[in-house]
Amino acid sequence: MVTVQSIASTPSSLTPNDLPWIVEHNEERCTLCGRCAAVCPVGTLRLAYMRKRMPKLVLASSERGSSYKTFVGIRQSTEIGKRCIGCGTCTMVCPNEAIHPVHNDQRDRFRFLDTQKGEPNKRGGRRNAPGPNLLDRIIFDRISMLTDPALDAGRHEFSCNTLLGRVLPPEEYVRRRLAGEWIPPVREIFPFVIGSMSFGALSPNMWLGLLQGVAYCNEVLGIPVVMATGEGGCPPWVLRSPFLKYILLQIASGYFGWDEIIRAIPEMQCDPAAIEIKYGQGAKPGDGGLLMWFKVSKIIARLRGVPEGVDLPSPPVHQTLYSIEESVMKMIQTMSMAWNFRVPVYPKISGSTSAKAVLNNLVRNPYAGALLVDGIDGGTGAAYNISMDATGHPIASNVRECYLDLCAQGKQNEIPIFAAGGVGKNGNVTQNGMALIMLGASGVHMGKYIMQAAAGCLGTEANRCNVCNIGLCPKGITSQNPKLYRRLDPDLVAQRVVDTFMAIRTEVKKIMAPLGRSQSLPIGMSDALGIDDKDVAERLNIRYVC
Amino acid sequence: MCRLALKTASEPFSPFTVLTAMEAMQEGYDGSGLGLLLRGLEFADYKYDAKDPILSGIAHSEAALARLDHIMDKTGFTLKYDHEFDVKKEMVEATDRFKYILRVYKMPAAWKGLATGEIEQKLMLTRLSLRKDGEAHGDDLTAFSLWPDVATIKEVGWPLGVGEALGLDSGRIKARVCMAQGRQNTNYGINLYACHPFFIQGVATMTNGENTAFVPIKDWLSGRGFPGYIGYQSDSEVFTHILHYVTKQLKLPLETYKHVITPLKNEELANHPQGAFLRGLRDACRRLIIDGPNAVIGTLPDETCLLVMDAKKMRPATVGGKPGEWAIASEMCGVDAMIPDRDRSLDFQPMREHTVIIPPARQELQIWSQFNQLPVPQAA
């Protein structure tokens, strides 16, 4: 037995087996080029000199029995801050396929120790709930086989757009037209929206690529896609460009970026698509936005009107407000007024058992243009683990409740409900989105899916990568470091945005055609939905099928 | 599949002639039932005043009939004429038909001086109370319509057979407008209320095809808080209620109906003289956009008849005739059977943008296109 002191053991000591990801390295194939170590975003890999004893049998007493050999190899750090995040960038750069991270299927001990200096785990990304989610299990089972010829998704015309903005009851619309009174602004948009990811959270190249792709979808393909900015404003050139009409400008509790926006109003060539007032986010309800100091670069600092390199935590609530009712009154009206009542204004809230109460306040506010509910499976650039994993409300039942509540009041056409939070998290974006639409949503917002589909984000629900918060995104999607974001070619991102939306449009038709729907988006067509779970079917008021 | 036939003529005719047209169209339908709606009525054994309301329905038991009498008495109606059908019971499939109701009433004296809208509301509420009473007693009382100059007959069985069973071939009842539909809702359990034509406050329609947007439309109509927007045993009932909503609630002209159920596309609205109004109307009435292959045939209280198609025109229908006499049917052979001596070259099959209107004068067809300018002040 060796002495205790000779083993490097502290309460926080870990071995590679205790970590969420284990680096498998094949020393025989390794050429020691060092690219993996150079590219590793968290610095977990190092080229190390190591010594190996070479025992040999020596009978003469004048010679020592063993000699030592030194060699060079790749080693994985077991430091908490430098643990492997499984991103696989090393694999991407290795010329010899000599290295790759492997998910540790044992329960990793790491999570018990990730509280160093009293700071609980913060990360970006997602909730890390692998496996099919509830939306993945909903099927469209009301196939039109009865008296109708089937629609042809490839040849027939389909109207798949939705409305964003306050829609008047028909009686009131007819009256106001006659009286020449104000009609609230309504936008016709594609029901799959690029959800709010801020300029700051996303790199300039990612932002540019998204916007280029969105503009192409609108102007060339006729798919009216819109994208939301998230908190933190909008690049000044975009504010003064004709592309602003594809942008949902978000104002959140930190009001970051709004100086720039307000100043740009007189110079705007067109109105933004809408204004989103963020009260909450599905991934971290009760938390404001958080841009960690790593990402507050010169341009971000300028845009947000803050010093460089400081953490930018937004407060959890809008500080000037006493309650959501007051907020509805003041902020929605102020924002409407800023654009002379030509731009829809709507709040975004976290999924919550109180969502219905917020909705009912909005119903009574003639200026509220929609409600966006963001469920627990939503993503974020930075949040505490505990918020992401365990705080919030799943989106399906939340949206369903809100929709049925509106139906009971006959107001389901007046306030569109948009749903977000986990749409497409397992890749089934159209299926998830259309399920939510048939549960009553007018459209869906998606963030993680777009990052994965359009920019190749490496994150998965197995907690792969998920370091959007520290500005070291290996793909250059969520980094403000030019060395990293230069990896991302905006043109290629734009191409992928276009690919993605073309594919979604085709899949929407492939869902609508067999249901016999082509004239309007099947919002609230719950008779088309089925699920193999009685309790869920009962809760969502849809059909149980098995 | 449903087969539909409508005939409108300046001279009253026996509805049996329309049933023969149904017979001509028998290929392709299951002939599981008959729905008839008549306007412009004449009775051989009663001089009918077209202002008096007519109650149509079925009492399935003596007790139900007694309750019906009680409800009508209590509301203040006075029975003026009780049409006794020459029923051949052995020819009727159903065994629980105690009495087919077709009764002319005198309006309650207390309603005198009420505005037309109020009277219309009270007539509807009375019909609904009869219906509710029947539903509360095991569906032993069915009330189809209560309205001046409207009679409705619905029964299970082969259409011509039902006509014979009820003695419609005797010529005791004649009408200027007859809508006929040849099917019960055999897709689901048979419910007499699920049989076309559907009726609400003078507005009636019948449809073939399936309306796949039924549930969202039904949800929206049910949320209007209007007592008559109930039922929905058939997905086609919403067509009637939408027509009622557009013409009676929104008070928009008949031509707007098509713009509500099958609005034009953006690029078409961009070139329409009233594109801005229509786009706003499309948004406001978005939940009323129908979907599915449908031909909708309707009639209004002034004996105006109409025919519209779905936006993809996946159901055919033909209108043909001559001044004073017109027919609409889901099959051309149906029109032939109803008006054989017409100029067939003038027959018209509406396209997806058309509304065919036969005005009460019945001198000519009006073919309204959605691309035409609408006569509405809101769009001026």
Confidence category of residue B22, pLDDT binned at 50, 70, 90 = confident
A526 touches chain B (CB under 8 A): yes
Output the six-digit token pair for A396: 């399906």
Output the six-digit token pair for A255: 């009001």
Cβ contact (<8 Å) for B222 and A411? no
How many whole angstroms separate alpha carbon A501 and alpha carbon A285?
A: 29
Cβ contact (<8 Å) for A516 and B292? yes
Nearest to B312 among A147, A169, A518 (CB): A518
A153 touches chain B (CB under 8 A): no
Cβ contact (<8 Å) for A170 and B215? no
Give the number of other CB atoms < 10 A from CB of residue A41: 20
Q: Is residue B114 part of a domain?
A: no
Which residues neighbour B364 within 8 Å (Cβ) at sequence distance 6 or greater? B323
Handedness of CA A215, A260, A233, A353 (dihedral sign): negative
Q: Is residue B132 part of a domain?
A: no
Searching chain A, which residue's CA lies closest to the CA of residue B186? A146
Return the C-alpha torsion angle B151, B154, B157, B159, nearest 10.
40
Q: Is residue B77 part of a domain?
A: no
Q: Is residue B86 part of a domain?
A: no
Confidence category of residue A320, pLDDT binned at 50, 70, 90 = low
How many whole angstroms separate alpha carbon A120 and alpha carbon A212?
A: 38
A224 touches chain B (CB under 8 A): no
B283 touches chain A (CB under 8 A): yes
Phi and psi torsions of A210, nearest 5°: -60, -50
pLDDT for A107: 74
Cβ contact (<8 Å) for B187 and A173? no
Q: Do the Cβ atoms of B176 and B325 come closer than 8 Å?
A: no
Long-range contacts of B65-74 (CB under 8 A, 24+ apart): B65/B98, B65/B99, B65/B101, B67/B133, B67/B137, B67/B141, B68/B101, B68/B130, B68/B133, B68/B141, B68/B143, B71/B126, B71/B129, B71/B130, B71/B133, B72/B105, B72/B126
pLDDT for residue A132 is more than 60: yes
Cβ contact (<8 Å) for B220 and A412? yes
Nearest to A519 among B277, B284, B290 (CB): B290
Q: Do the Cβ atoms of B176 and B9 come closer than 8 Å?
A: yes
Nearest to B214 by CA among B199, B234, B197, B200: B234
Cβ contact (<8 Å) for B219 and A524? yes
Nearest to B277 by CA among B367, B353, B375, B351: B375
Helix (H), strand (E), coil (C) string for A123-142:
EEECCCCCCCCHHHHCEECC
Return the C-alpha torsion angle B220, B223, B225, B229, nearest 10.
50
Cβ contact (<8 Å) for A516 and B210? yes
Cβ contact (<8 Å) for A173 and B281? yes
Report the length, in residues, of chain A: 546
Chain B residues whose CB is inside 8 A of the A526 CB are 215
How many whole angstroms separate alpha carbon B154 and alpha carbon B95?
A: 15
How many whole angstroms separate alpha carbon A272 and alpha carbon A462?
A: 37
What 3-state class would DSSP assign to B268?
helix
Q: Is residue B373 part of a domain?
A: yes
Mean pLDDT within B193-202: 94
Confidence category of residue B21, pLDDT binned at 50, 70, 90 = confident
Q: Which helix (H) or strand (E) holds A483?
A: helix A482-485
Best of B221, B287, B294 to disrupt the A interface (most A CBs within 10 Å) is B287
Cβ contact (<8 Å) for B223 and A148? no
Cβ contact (<8 Å) for B291 and A409? no
pLDDT for residue B351 is more than 70: yes
How many whole angstroms separate alpha carbon A129 and alpha carbon A296?
A: 30
pLDDT for B278: 96
Q: Do the Cβ atoms of B258 and B165 come closer than 8 Å?
A: no
What pairing do the DSSP bridges indicate for beta strands A417-420 and A371-374? Answer: parallel
What residues does A420 pair with on adjacent strands?
Answer: A374, A445
Mean pLDDT within A135-139: 97
pLDDT for B29: 66
Best of B30, B183, B212, B256 to disrupt the A interface (most A CBs within 10 Å) is B212
Chain B residues whose CB is inside 8 A of the A158 CB are none
Cβ contact (<8 Å) for B285 and A409? no
CA angle A131, A137, A140 (to 5 degrees): 155
Output the six-digit token pair for A47: 């080229």
Return the C-alpha torsion angle A446, A447, A448, A451, nearest 10.
120
Give me the domain span that covers residue B16.
4-48+149-379
Q: Please name each of the domains of chain A with its CATH number.
A: 8-119 (3.30.70), 159-526 (3.20.20.70)
In the numeric block, the tokens 């680096």 are attached to A23
- Give the CATH number of the domain where residue B191 resides: 3.60.20.10
pLDDT for A288: 83
The B residues from 241 to 270 touching A (CB cutoff 8 Å) are 245, 249-252, 262, 265-266
pLDDT for B191: 85
B224 touches chain A (CB under 8 A): yes
Mean pLDDT within B201-208: 95
Give whole-number Cα distances, A479 to A84, A297, A484, in Å.
18, 10, 7
A147 touches chain B (CB under 8 A): yes
Q: Is residue B103 part of a domain?
A: no
Q: Do the Cβ atoms of A115 and A385 come closer than 8 Å?
A: no
pLDDT for A165: 98
Cβ contact (<8 Å) for A519 and B1? no
How many whole angstroms separate alpha carbon B202 and alpha carbon A114?
A: 74
How close does chain B come to A450, measured CA to CA in Å?
28
Q: Give, rounded to a whole angstrom, the gap between the first and last alpha carbons of chain A.
A: 61
Q: Which helix (H) or strand (E) holds A498?
A: helix A490-512
How many whole angstroms separate alpha carbon A271 and alpha carbon A247?
A: 9
Give whole-number Cα distances, A39 to A26, A36, A49, A73, A80, in Å.
18, 5, 19, 16, 19
Number of domains observed in the structure of chain B = 1
Searching chain B, which residue's CA lies closest to the CA of residue A527? B215
Nearest to A388 by CA among A311, A315, A285, A317: A285
Output the six-digit token pair for A350: 């976290």
What residues does A531 pair with on adjacent strands?
Answer: A544
Give the residue with greater pLDDT, A9 vs A88. A88
Cβ contact (<8 Å) for A524 and B216? yes
Percent of chain B residues topping a pLDDT of 70: 97
Taking only the tens place, the pLDDT of each residue in A397-455 is 999 999 999 999 999 999 999 999 999 999 999 999 999 999 999 999 999 999 999 99
The interface pTM score, or ipTM, of the predicted complex is 0.94
Q: Is residue B190 part of a domain?
A: yes
- Report if pTM > 0.90: yes
B209 touches chain A (CB under 8 A): yes
Cβ contact (<8 Å) for A148 and B292? yes
Q: Is residue B82 part of a domain?
A: no
pLDDT for residue B85 is more than 90: yes
Handedness of CA A381, A385, A386, A391 (dihedral sign): positive
